[in-house]
Structure 1
């Protein structure tokens, strides 16, 4: 393979390293599903077997999606999620299992926009924001000092000066495309992060459910159309990648980019 060329992302769950710190919230339910897929079960069938109690959707074969019908509209109308046998849809299903209320809310707003405007060549601001978070989003609970440094893109302060404060922070991935990409981690991977209240105890067994209930109410068209997200290079998070123990890890301006210059009036 040529220098500088990233290896292709595997297509099935057998390549997942479940010891990765970003997969800690997903491991207990995700690893058994992955094992079923490795044993020959279709991804949708394995996900459906992991459903506990009442669920907002059923995982179905991709072939159920009729030609010409928008994916999000089909899910809203039928409560069935067409699922392919690949990593992308595997992680999408895991997010449905852990964040069912938020996923249903995102789907509702997508379907409403499609019903109002049809499927356009370019998504409108709200659909674009919903898709960005659905594919690449994350939730960060952190002290205000970390948030101030993150929003300022003051990487030195965020990751070096304030490094001890990361012991009080927790980053929970949401975007299924981001989790798919992290199967083969690369320094340049960036999450679109939304601020979550520190009061929610995400370490407890019910923590993700509490985050889900909170986030489903947070997703409102008037605020989310503005993309209220902050970019965060995820492998810079202390404890997430061994190389970031060295301060020079953060000197890469191609990844840890300085703030955009504000043009003079």
Structure 2
């Protein structure tokens, strides 16, 4: 029997689709939100209708579908079960709501992450700790921001914690030579109630200048293919990410129109220098 999480109505009702980081999710997300506000069974049904239409697959080529969390067999690992069956255990909460959304936004990246996680589980089993590779994969899955750039100076500013260059002196680069797209579903959950210190882990990917003339679907498809290939070719480590305070992204938060916003060293910290 499906069980409903505590007060899901309040959590789902708080999602504001007008926020710029949710724009690409809004059409499907609003439909899912309406289903989630009805009940757990209606919500899972809505996810599975879309999954059948999209004909997506998971890490080992199984057709994507969504099941209630209680249907995960006892003793089965979450990632291993997804890889083996295509079925994603899904709770009636925002965390898993945004996780499901990413399967549709970036199916190749999600499948690559799942394949790598399942491969580690097959090789090493489930222990008290995940290990370095699984930690990095989880960090990507939960908290990544996809940072697309055709300007090496902007990418380097991000790597070097040079917030003044990234957000102030090169502010005109945003939308023209660089952009940020939130991938991590835990990060999206946090941003339902945004706060200044909310920080993602940026995964920097170089793109051609023509990327910024493409439409949203074309941009997502390029990132999906390119990043999935990067992950499979060279599995990530925690040092491959660059911290990015997400409300600093131009156009994402009204207060950052003032340069004084970036003077807060408790958020925009100096950090390790890239070597």
Q: TM-score higher than 0.5 here?
A: yes
Post-superposition offset of 1:237: 0.5
CA distance in 1, matches of 2:238, 2:273: 20
Q: Is the 8 A contact 1:10 1:87 kept in 2?
A: no
Q: Is the 8 A contact 1:235 1:241 kept in 2?
A: yes
The DSSP-based 3-state class of the residue aligned with 1:205 is: helix
Q: Is the 8 A contact 2:161 2:273 kept in 1?
A: no
Of residues 207, 232, 243, the one that matches 1:198 is 207
Of residues 102, 125, 128, the one that matches 2:132 is 125
Q: Is the 8 A contact 2:94 2:189 kept in 1?
A: yes
The DSSP-based 3-state class of the residue aligned with 1:172 is: strand
Which has a greater percent of helix? Answer: 2
Post-superposition offset of 1:10: 8.2
Cα RMSD (Å): 2.0
1:181-260 correspondence runs (5 A): 181-199=190-208, 200=211, 203-220=215-232, 222-225=234-237, 227-260=239-272
1:124-203 correspondence runs (5 A): 124-142=131-149, 143-168=151-176, 169-199=178-208, 200=211, 203=215
Aligned length: 254
Closer, same or farther: CA 10–193 of 1 in aligned 2, 3 Å:
farther
CA distance in 1, matches of 2:167, 2:204: 17
The DSSP-based 3-state class of the residue aligned with 2:175 is: helix
Q: Once superposed, which parts of structure 1, at least 4 consecutive aligned residues long, lie more than 4 Å away? A: none
The DSSP-based 3-state class of the residue aligned with 1:138 is: strand
Q: Is the 8 A contact 1:33 1:46 kept in 2?
A: yes
**How high is the TM-score relative to the length of structure 2?**
0.86
Q: Is the 8 A contact 1:192 1:232 kept in 2?
A: yes
**How high is the TM-score relative to the length of structure 1?**
0.89
